[in-house]
A and B are shown apart, each in its own frame.
Chain A
Amino acid sequence: QSALTQPASVSGSPGQSITISCTGASSDIGGYNYVSWYQQRPGKAPKLIIYDVTNRPSGVSDRFSGSKSGNTASLTVSGLQAEDEADYYCSSYTGDNTEVFGGGTKLTVL
């Protein structure tokens, strides 16, 4: 079970949009529409912000959106705000009924 691949870091200015990619395989991302995204601020527990590739839990800003193409899922944050600065992790259901996370991406708001 290999971790999903994410860029180590991304950055953007306030008001801009950024996209974080998450690449897996046909046994996880490519085979199922069960990708989740989490936001983790320093010293805090992760927070679910996207589930089932595109869905937002109640209370999560609509500036966060998810998509998928083939073996790669993406998280887009539009209208960047200072409060969006955090680490972001993707995860996926896998064909052997387990869960696998990405390595995480640090988002810096310039």
Chain B
Amino acid sequence: QLQLHESGPGLVKPSETLSLTCSISGGSVNSGNYYWSWIRQPPGGGLEWIGFVSYSGSTKYNPSLSRRVSISGDTSKNRYSLNLTSVTAADTAVYYCARHWRGGGYSHGMDVWGQGTTVTVFS
């Protein structure tokens, strides 16, 4: 059974870079038709899609974050990563990784999620 697990620092200072990793078990980052997304949820707020990396390494980002975000896959370690630069307090959130079913080039939903990791931007 596929499982995802987020890891990374829980505290990041303003203006620094937030870096998180999503480790995949029970499946492969190279799985066809599946992309790998990051989603975040600020305290008391709603979900925001950050972006994805595909099984071939292509990426797509939320336009509101595209200047600061990068997502990459690591096939040798079966994981993928998120980097978000120049963070502010507005980036404080629970960050989730999720498998994104993208058969035929379209989105069919995110069917497996990690448990989420809380990141606080705090000086």
A-B contact count (CB 8 A): 72
Query: Can you name the residue of chain A whose Cβ is closest to the Cβ of B111?
Result: A48
Q: How large is the interface on A (under 10, 10 to 19, 20 to 34, 35 or more residues)?
A: 20 to 34
Q: Are the C-beta atoms of A1 and B46 separated by less than 8 Å?
A: no
Of the candidates A1, A46, A99, A104, the one whose C-beta lies within 8 Å of that of B107 is A99
Count residues of B near A (Cβ-Cβ below 8 Å): 27
Cα distance, A95 to B7, chains bound together (Å)? 32
Q: Which of A32, A45, A48, A89 contacts B116 (CB 8 A)?
A: A45
CB-CB nearest in chain B for A37? B109
CA A36 to CA B108, docked complex, whole Å: 7
- Picked from B52, B110, B113, the residue with its CB within 8 Å of the CB of A36 is B110
Q: Is the CB of A34 within 8 A of B111?
A: no
CA A48 – CA B7 in complex, angstroms? 22
Query: Is residue B25 contacting chain A, with contact meaning CB distance below 8 A?
Result: no
Instruction: For B96, list chain A residues within 8 Å (CB).
Output: 45-46
How near does chain A come to B34, taking the closest CB pair, in angstroms? 13
Q: Which 8 A-B pairs have the closest CB atoms?
A: A36-B109, A51-B109, A93-B107, A45-B113, A104-B46, A99-B49, A101-B47, A103-B46
